Every structure is written in structure tokens, then in C-alpha cells.
Structure 1
Amino acid sequence: MKSRTTITEIARELNVSPSTVSRALNNHPAISAKTRDAVIELARKLNYQPNLLALNLLNKRTNTIGVIVPEITSHFFSSIISGIQDLLNPLGVNMIIGQSNESYEEEMSIVRTFTSIQVDGFLISPSSETKNFDHLKILKESNIPLVIFDRDCEEIEVDKVFVDEYQGAYQAVEYLINSGCRRIAHIAGPSILSTAKHRLEAYKNALKTYGIPVRDEYIVETNGFAPEHGIDLTKKLLALPKRPDAIFAINDGVAIGAMYVIKEAGIVIPDEISVIGFDDDPHSCYFKPSLSTVWQPTYELGMLSARILMKRIQTDNDISKIRVEKLFPELIIRGSSR
């Protein structure tokens, strides 16, 4: 296999110095038009490609940012990544994506790898296992720009971008109450996650506001976000002496699993049990009945996170005020709720 053409090889063929070739390729005014044209013509003939990594390192930038997410297959994170990419592309900035698979160890390993290749900054949504944030504190102490999005790390003061989880969850539970539901269950997310904590807090506060007792048996916690993670927990809820007349699920995937169990049990949705999810997955509207849910501005979340990070990078991380931004969700009512 032929190795890539170098500036030195072009210089040797034209009997000029490598610095002359470099200047000609960069249209330096000190180089004559004749020499510049000869260099460019030979470079094209030999299919010369500049070593962008070397050039960027010379400029103390790689024009690459590292993005770390728990997973990339869901609509939620893929939409965020689209927002990031659409902000970066016009700026000529690349991104590399690491998937932690909700693993703390994997997240730490990706941070180390991305740091070793000198990315200009990080966009990170922490894994559900991440309790120790020392690896993120090191980034801050090293003056490496970092924006945390979607899931909070309260111990670290850096730029952050979230959706107002509390407001979205409160709207969902309030709607269920106003539609006549009184035995409202919540399939909560892992308690370590800030997103799950906010939704659970909103669920409890909405019940209290309307004078409905918070019953522990109506709150169950899942350890995942796929439909299968809602199946056994829904069976447990349906087996209660007074089964729920509504279920508010941590996300659409779990809500879909809950709907499957409810329908298999011969219970009519929403006449006997209403169901509301969270995230507004594109498939949610195609189920029968279609799933009521809380829409999150994921694309905007990704774009804003990237914009804040690029501002940090372009100013050499010299911004005194930490930015914490919250975007607002919207309740989408469909056929699964009264």
C-alpha cells in the first residue's frame, strides 16, 4: 500500500524547501504565483492530503470535541447528537462519540481516551452508575471545557443544560388528577439519576397539592428504560388489592411495556387505566391507543449545549460566570389517557 504523500516529497520533486511548499499551499504572499501554481499542481497530481491533526496540534486545537452519552440508539440521545452536530458542522468542528452503556467504568475509560487525543472540550451526560465524579473534576481542574447535559452532577460547578423535568412531570400528574384519576402509580427511574429524582418529586408534590395521599405501594423503581423494564413492575402494580387507575412512567419505553401488560390483562386503556410516558419517542403515536407523553426539546438541548461549549473553547475557557440553562417540556395528550 502506497503511503500518503508528504510535503517533503513535493519539495524534493520541485527542488524547493518544505517550508516553501507549506507556504505555497497556504497561499502565503511571499511565494511567487509561478511557484505556488507548480506546488498546487503537483500536490493535486500526487493526491496530497494535509495532516489536519498535526496542523491542529500545532495551533493547540484539534477542532474536535468529545461527546459521551449513556447510549446512542434511543431517539432521545440520537436527537441530542443531531443538535450537537448541526451546531458544529458550520464551524468546521468535528465530534467523536463515546457510549458509556450506563457504565461508570466505561465512562471513565472514554474520558481518559478522549483526553489523551486532546479533544478541545467535552459534552457529557453521565451514566446511571456514576456516583463518583472525580474524573469530571479532573477535567475542570485541568481547564478542559466541559458542559454537562440532561443529567446533573451537583458536586461540579460547570456549564449545564437541562430540560425542566420537574415541570414536565408535574403537568403529567396534574392532568391525570384533573381527568378523574385518584390511584396514580409511578414507575420511577433509578434513584441515583437527577432526572428520575425530579420526576418523582413532581409526582409526589402534585398528589399533595390536590390532597391525594402518596402511597408507597404505588411507587416502583425500574433499573432501565426499555419496554421490558416496565413489564414486571406493571404486573406488580396490577396485583395490588386496589390497582392503580393511572400510571405515570419514567419514559416512553417503560410506558409501552406497561401498556402491553395492561392490554394482556384485558384491562381497557384509558377507560380503566390511563398511561402517560415521558420523552415523546416518535413511535409513541403509532401504538393503539397512542401514548400520551411529555415532549422534550432534545434537539435544542444538544444545540445549546454545543453552543455553550464552543463559547468556552473560543475564549480559552475564560468565562467567569457558570451557565445553567433549562429548557421547557410540553405535555402531549393522546389516546392512552382520559
Structure 2
Amino acid sequence: MAQSLKKQRSNTIGVIVPEIRHHFFATVISGIENVAYDAGFIIIVCQSDETLQREITNTRALAANRVAGLIMAISLETTTFEHMKAVMKQGIPLVQFDRVVPELNTGKVIIDDFRAAYKITSHLIDCGYKRIGFLAGREGIALNQLRFNGYMQALKNYGIPYYPELHTGTGGCREEDGRIGADMYLAMGNPPDAILAINDPVAVGAFCRFREAGLRIPDDIALAGFSGSPESALIDPPLTTINQPAFEMGRTAAALILKQLNSIDENFIPETVTLKTELLMRGSSLRREQD
């Protein structure tokens, strides 16, 4: 406590995530705690519930409690960043992960979303699919745009047409958004033969709705997602996905915070760390003759 008072900071690190129920974010939190605990810090976790106002409230509350640093992934509603800039002006180190604001000069832990989307779209094309839809998240979020750009580049490079009507979504990242998106595709006269979803929960939601409608996966429609969540391996057939190293993302974010806290350089330059991903090719995109 004496050391905390002397340094004018506590031994706590604040963490803000869009939602704790999402396996990806829960695993990131575990990675953060793993590193922070060994360094003598505890973490305080808040969830924004995908709303800007709760994110602002959480940010202010953590700053008021003099957290030593703040680690966060922005909500789907976050298009203004004054609350984040305010934290930085107070001298509180800020590290972003997964969903980041590129223009803010903070530490960042990301994947190459463009390359990962390009890779998984290329896989769908290699499997013979010609009408590939993109079931999107919220427009304006950098992650969503990068994945869409990767999808578009793969279509272009392989000479596969882009059908604007197949680029759809509800702006959300949960299972119910996938079900709604699936209904949009089911209502089309000429639906896609494959879909790349913004993440695994959306893909799983769409998967369940298509199965309820009597479609065979992947024979009638193929599906692919992002994150490598446990449920992606439990559905039948299992979901093709991009495996993101969530635990390592959390550990890296915590390491970046600690590095900044321990630095005596007044001109400290925050780092951006890009972690590797893995394409998991599974039954939701592989027809039997391709297995």
C-alpha cells in the first residue's frame, strides 16, 4: 500500500470487455490474469454489454479508482473515443486488444484480420463455392472492415463475382444475429452457397437456423467463422473457423501494460503486436469427397 501511495497508483489493472459470456473474451481475461497475478497485480473486470454508455461509465469508474493500467476491447457502439483519450491524458497506460481504434496511440494486440479473412475465403473458393456471402458485424468497427476487405480481395484474386446482396448482417456479434442473418438469406430467391460470418457465435446461430429450415451443411450451404470457440467444434458437422490465440492475446496485453508501467522513458512508444492465427478446415465447408 505504501508503494502504491508513493507511485500514486494501485496494484490493480482494469479490464473492459464487450461481454464475459463470449468464450473468446473470457479466455483473454484468463490470459491477462495469468500474467498480472505473477507480477503482483490483480484485475478488475467490467463488461460494456456492447454499449458505448456502459463502456464510458466503466472507463471513468476504473480511472477514478486509480487503476495502474487499463486493457480493453471496444463495444460495437463505440465510434467516439473521448473517454479513452481522457484516460491517456491522466497518464494511465492503455492497451487495446482484438477490437481496436487504430488512430489512438496505445499498445495494441491484434491478429491480421485482413489476411485471416483472405485465407478462409480462399479456402471456400478452393472448395468450389461460387456465391459466397459475408455475414457482417457492425460497420465502422475496424475489425469488421478488415475482414470484409480480406474477403473482397480473395474474391477479386480468384475471379469470383461479388454479389452486394450477399453482404448482409444485423450489426451484432451474437448467436441471435446469426439466426436473423440466416433468415435474410433464406428469403432470397438465389441464396449464397457459402457464408463467411464475422465470428463463431454468428456462424453457429446461422448454422442452427439453416438446419431448422432443412438445409444440409455443407451440401446446400457452407459456413465458416472466426475465433475457434469450443462450440465451433461441437456442432455437427464442426465449423470451419479461424483459430485466434485468445489466451496468448491476454498474456501479451498484460505484458504490454507491465512494460509501460515499468518504463522510465518519458517518450515511451506503445507497441502493436500481431499474433498468428490458424485456419481450421472442418466439415461445415468440406464436402465428403474433400475430407
TM range (shorter): over 0.9
Contact 1:145 1:317 in 2 (8 A): no
Structure 2 counterpart of 1:210:
158
Secondary structure in structure 1 of the residue aligned to 2:33:
helix
Q: Which residue of 2 aligns with 1:331?
A: 279
Q: Which whole-Å deviations, capped at 9, do the CAs of 1:150-207 have from their partners, x for residues lacking one? A: 1121331111111111111111110000010001111011112111111111111111
Report the RMSD for the aligned CA atoms in angstroms: 1.5
Distance 1:89 1:245 in 2: 47
How many residue pairs are counted as aligned between the two chains?
286
Aligned position for 1:26: none
Structure 2 CA distance for aligned equivalents of residues 328 and 261 of structure 1: 31
Displacement after TM superposition at 1:88 (Å):
0.9
2:209 paired residue among 228, 238, 261: 261
**Matches of 1:213 and 1:334 in 2, distance apart?**
24
- 2:13 and 2:43 in contact (8 A); partners too: yes
Which stretches in structure 1 are left out of the alignment for 5+ residues? 1-51
Report the residue type matching 2:260 in the other structure. Answer: R
- Residues 96 and 109 in structure 2, CA contact (< 8 A), matched pair in contact too: yes
Which one-letter code corresponds to 1:236 in the other structure? Answer: M
Is 1:282 matched up with 2:230?
yes
Is 2:247 aligned against 1:299?
yes
Alignment of 1:47-196 (within 5 A): 52=1, 56-196=4-144
Q: In 2, distance between residues paired with 1:55 and 1:326?
A: 34
Task: Give the AA of the match of 1:239.
Answer: A
Q: Gaps spanning 5+ residues in structure 2: where?
A: 287-291
Q: Is the 8 Å Cα contact of residues 85 and 95 (structure 1) preserved in structure 2?
A: yes
In the aligned structure 1, how far is the partner of 2:265 from the partner of 2:134?
Answer: 41
Take 2:30 and 2:267, find their aligned partners in 1: how far apart are those partners?
26
Question: Structure 1, residues 234-263: CA drift from partner, whole Å, max 9, x if none?
Answer: 122123222211011111111111111222
Q: What are the Cα deviations for residues 114-148 of structure 1, in whole angstroms up to 9, with x where unaligned? A: 11111111111111111111111122222221111
TM-score, reference length from structure 1:
0.81
**Aligned pairs for 1:6-25 within 5 A:** none
Higher relative contact order (CA 8 A, sep 6+): 2
Q: Is the 8 A contact 1:312 1:318 kept in 2?
A: no
Structure having the higher Rg: 1
**Structure 2 residue identity aligned to 1:135:** H
Instruction: Check conservation: 1:312, 1:319, Cα contact below 8 A.
Output: no
* TM-score, structure 2 as length reference: 0.94
Structure 1 residue 243 corresponds to structure 2 residue 191:
yes
Kindly provide the amino acid, as one letter, of the partner of residue 55 in structure 2: E
SS of alignment partner, residue 168 of structure 2? strand
Q: Which amino acid in 2 is paired with 1:262?
A: F
Cα distance per residue 1:90-116 (max 9 Å; x no partner): 111111111111111111111111111
Give the secondary-structure state (helix, strand or coil) at the position aligned to 2:139. coil
Q: Does the CA contact (< 8 Å) of 1:165 and 1:329 recur in 2? A: no
Corresponding letter in the other structure for 1:332: L
Distance 2:263 2:9 in 1: 12
The verdict on how the C-alpha distance between 1:318 and 1:250 changes in structure 2, with shifts beyond 3 A counting, is same
Instruction: Give the 3 Å change call, closer, same or farther, for CA 206–292 of structure 1 in structure 2.
Output: same
Percentage of matched positions with identical amino acids: 38
Runs of 4 or more above 4 Å deviation: none
Contact kept in structure 1, 2:169 and 2:177, CA below 8 Å: no
Conserved? CA contact 1:103–1:130, under 8 Å: yes
Deviation at 1:287? 0.8
